[in-house]
Chains A and B, each alone.
Chain A
Amino acid sequence: MLKLALTKGRIEEKSIEKLALCGYNVEELSDKGRKLLFLCPHPEAETLQIVLAKANDVITYVEHGTCDIGIVGRDTIMEMGGDFYELLDLGFGKCRFALAGLKGKQFYKGFGHRIIATKYPNVTNRYFEAQDTECEIVKIDGSVELAPVLGLADAIVDIVETGSTLKENGLEIYEEIAPISARLIVNNASLKMKNESVGDFIDRLSQVIG
């Protein structure tokens, strides 16, 4: 049996769709109630045990080998890092990391101290370090868009899908930082110890993601 950690929410639905296309029986997942563990049998392949988890936890489970494989957004991978293989770009859950702030303001103008509000301090830190720009980061947990509006920060670094939340709050994108999509990650040891079944799973999945 292969254990798959699946990120709850946005990515979950698309992933289940793809798994069904691969021939897995995803019945248990359609009526899940409060359960967090599900079995998805396959007529030819090894049964999948699916674990529903929050994005950060998907990485933790896979890194420790508690789960063999995981499906998680590139945003979480970039923020959390970790030692695992990132084998497939699943092509859905597409959005991007962007630097955004009040419309019409020139972020890089002037010599003043800049404050960035974000849920992703590591991504933000790396981005500005790479271009030798000093910024102070404030970690925010909820709606980051509020920070520039309320005057807490000069800009935000956040994931942007359509950009409508930014627009409705008077913000605009200054710079795109990185594209994001759902990724298939594999535990280092599982890829070796369960080489055949993991390889088989990846083959099936890559066929349906085109």
Chain B
Amino acid sequence: MGIVRKYLPAGTRDLIFEEAASVRNLDNRLMNLYLTLGFRPIETPVLEYYDVFNHEKRYISEKSIFKLSDQEGRLVALRPDNTSPVIRVVLSKLKDADYPLKICYSQPIFRNHIAFHAKKSQILQSGIEIIGGNKQEEDLRCLFTSLACLRMCGSDYKLEIGNARFFDTLVAGFSISEQERNDLRTLMAAKNSGGYSFALNMTNPIVLKLARELPRLCGSPRQVLIRARALVQDNRDSLSILDELETVCSTFSGTEFEDKIILDLGIVQKINYYTGLVFRGYVSGIGEAVLSGGRYDDLMQSFGADLSACGFGINVSDLSELCRTPIPRVPDLSFREGQNSIKNALDYLNGIQGDTSC
């Protein structure tokens, strides 16, 4: 063996001084918020069986999961997400707990990204999950908690809200194949209105109109709702989703959160993970969503449970880069022999720490 390598695998980072302090500080504040709002913490291992993430509703690509094997050669993953492990815990150990269950967590997730994109392969993800209970109330609780988290890093933030089922209700009446529906979904997710005419060879003028307009249905709730209602006309399922979204938005009116909420009706799930409400949080200075969440009843079902569930995760690693925490200076205590230095140090500690028992 030669000299030890002193650099890191791609995508990983050391956090030095202020960087480490900032992550810790933000993480603590978020956790305190969850606890204040009645959530209870759980921790799960970094290692999980790969199957936990490889079910029918698989939402993380096989390529991006770090895999190893256990002593019997079974496939094990470095957890790429926290929601599936939380569901595993709920369905194995918390079956008899009091519902609705309000769970919070904060632990790193790992993703294997393609090289040279400056993406972190280890991210501290903090979040909540609410399982069982009244759907409308859970949705609002999740949205409220999201907004309370986002405002921790300044006033320049937005929460976009949509409904994963909206697209499906819109195309429900059209006679298009499953393949075409999936193609449409992919194009819609990228708001790619230019791709339609070619990719689908569609002649149905309503589908084409939809394809052109849906990606643009994004902005302040009032305007988006007006345009959306004109687009869906008498499609009753779509209209009822719009009514639901309007109710959700109006719940926040008159509060400081009112102008932080935008609607995006072009949200579609490429994989059918979310089933209703979907939301993402953005802050100025970060080029992708720092918070993402929604209702995932179907995911619960692929674990074999008929329970309602809603939650979100926050990328604490990225968000902490926006709010740097300075490290306070401490007096230079001396620890020299014969100078009564231990007593001085203890006095200093007792002065700031008070009671040290747990």
B153 → chain A, closest Cβ, in Å?
A: 13
Q: Mask for B261-290, Cβ within 8 A of A = 1, else 0?
A: 010100000000000000010111011110
B194: which A residues are within 8 A, CB to CB? Answer: 74, 86-89, 181, 183
CB pair B158 A179 closer than 8 Å: no
A205 → chain B, closest Cβ, in Å?
A: 13
A83, CB-defined interface residue at 8 Å:
yes
CB pair B158 A193 closer than 8 Å: yes
CB pair B215 A85 closer than 8 Å: yes
Out of A74, A192, A199, A202, which one reaches B282, CB within 8 Å? Answer: A192
Docked Cα-Cα span, A79 to B259, in Å, equals 38
A199: which B residues are within 8 A, CB to CB? Answer: 216, 219
19 contacts between A and B (CB under 8 A): A60-B117, A63-B117, A63-B287, A83-B288, A85-B190, A86-B192, A87-B193, A87-B194, A88-B194, A188-B288, A188-B289, A189-B287, A191-B191, A192-B280, A193-B156, A195-B158, A195-B219, A195-B220, A199-B216
Closest-by-CB residue of B relative to A89 is B194
B160, CB-defined interface residue at 8 Å:
yes
Interface centre among A65, A84, A186, A191 (most CB of B within 10 A): A191
Closest-by-CB residue of B relative to A66 is B287
Out of B118, B216, B284, which one reaches A193, CB within 8 Å? Answer: B284
Out of A83, A86, A178, A192, which one reaches B158, CB within 8 Å? Answer: A192
B11, CB-defined interface residue at 8 Å:
no
* Given A188-B288, A189-B286, A189-B288, also A86-B118 (CB < 8 A): no
CB pair B289 A87 closer than 8 Å: no
Question: What class of interface size applies to chain A in its complex with B?
Answer: 20 to 34
A187, CB-defined interface residue at 8 Å:
yes
CB pair B190 A192 closer than 8 Å: no
B218: which A residues are within 8 A, CB to CB? Answer: 191-192, 195
Number of A-B contacts (CB under 8 A): 71
Question: What class of interface size applies to chain B in its complex with A?
Answer: 20 to 34
B198, CB-defined interface residue at 8 Å:
yes
A190, CB-defined interface residue at 8 Å:
yes
B186 → chain A, closest Cβ, in Å?
A: 11
Docked Cα-Cα span, A188 to B287, in Å, equals 7
B335 → chain A, closest Cβ, in Å?
A: 47
Docked Cα-Cα span, A199 to B264, in Å, equals 13
Docked Cα-Cα span, A86 to B195, in Å, equals 9
A54, CB-defined interface residue at 8 Å:
no
A94 → chain B, closest Cβ, in Å?
A: 12
- Beta-carbon contacts under 8 Å, A154-189 to B: 178-179, 181, 183, 186-189
A191: which B residues are within 8 A, CB to CB? Answer: 191, 218
A51 → chain B, closest Cβ, in Å?
A: 15
A32 → chain B, closest Cβ, in Å?
A: 27
Docked Cα-Cα span, A38 to B262, in Å, equals 31
Interface centre among A87, A189, A190 (most CB of B within 10 A): A189
Docked Cα-Cα span, A191 to B191, in Å, equals 11
CB pair A187 B282 closer than 8 Å: no
B289: which A residues are within 8 A, CB to CB? Answer: 188-189
Docked Cα-Cα span, A85 to B193, in Å, equals 10
Closest-by-CB residue of A relative to B264 is A192
Docked Cα-Cα span, A189 to B194, in Å, equals 20
B262: which A residues are within 8 A, CB to CB? Answer: 192, 195
Known: A85-B191, A191-B218, A195-B220. 13 other contacts (CB 8 A): A63-B287, A65-B287, A84-B190, A85-B215, A86-B192, A86-B195, A87-B192, A189-B287, A192-B158, A192-B160, A192-B264, A195-B158, A199-B219
Docked Cα-Cα span, A70 to B299, in Å, equals 36
* Given A87-B191, A87-B193, A193-B282, also A64-B158 (CB < 8 A): no
CB pair A89 B288 closer than 8 Å: no
Closest-by-CB residue of A relative to B215 is A87
Closest-by-CB residue of B relative to A84 is B190
Closest-by-CB residue of B relative to A63 is B287
A65: which B residues are within 8 A, CB to CB? Answer: 286-288
B219: which A residues are within 8 A, CB to CB? Answer: 195-196, 199
Docked Cα-Cα span, A88 to B194, in Å, equals 6
A60: which B residues are within 8 A, CB to CB? Answer: 117
B264: which A residues are within 8 A, CB to CB? Answer: 192
